[in-house]
Amino acid sequence: MKEMDRRLFVHGGPGRQFVRFVQVGVTNTVGTYLLYLALILILPYVAAYSITFVVGVLFSAWLNARYSFTTRLTGRTLVRFIFIYVINFMLSMQLLIFCVEILDIPQTIAPLVVLAVFTPINFFSSRLALTGNWRRHQ
């Protein structure tokens, strides 16, 4: 492995952070997707998605701070994280509605499309929110 490639994946480098971010994301996605599937049995899909999004953001903030970016989750970083995810929520909700209403993708599949589009966006915005740094780890 080249030295530059190696540095990306050791000592909390961005490659390692991304791998950990994906691990947290998979755990979070499985949990929130199961919650979403349960909630759409009793609630409209928009309400179910909203609830699972909030649960997912809080879990993600806590676990990404501790595991992915190895930083403390303070009140300030949590506020930044929530602010960024409110913007992401509004954008992802529009994509969800577009997928269901315009593209006629089933309600059970559309959140997975949204996930695929927003994973890279969420990685960089999470890093910014939790570390205060867009490019390099701290």
Per residue in 86-97, pLDDT (tens digit) is: 898 899 999 999
Average pLDDT across the chain, whole number: 85
Specify the pTM.
0.66
Model pLDDT, residue 51 = 95
Averaged pLDDT, 32-52 = 95
End-to-end Cα, the chain, rounded Å: 23
Taking 90 as the threshold, does the pLDDT of residue 38 lie above it? yes
pLDDT in tens, 22-31: 899 899 989 9
- Residue 9 has a pLDDT of 45
Q: Is 119 exposed, middle or buried (0-12, 13-18, 19+ CB in 10 A)?
A: middle
Q: Indicate the range of 52-61, 95-104, 128-137 predicted with least confidence.
A: 128-137
**d(Cα 138, Cα 136) in Å, to the nearest integer?**
7
Q: Quick one: pLDDT band at residue 134, thresholds 50, 70, 90?
A: low
Domain ranges of the chain: 3-131
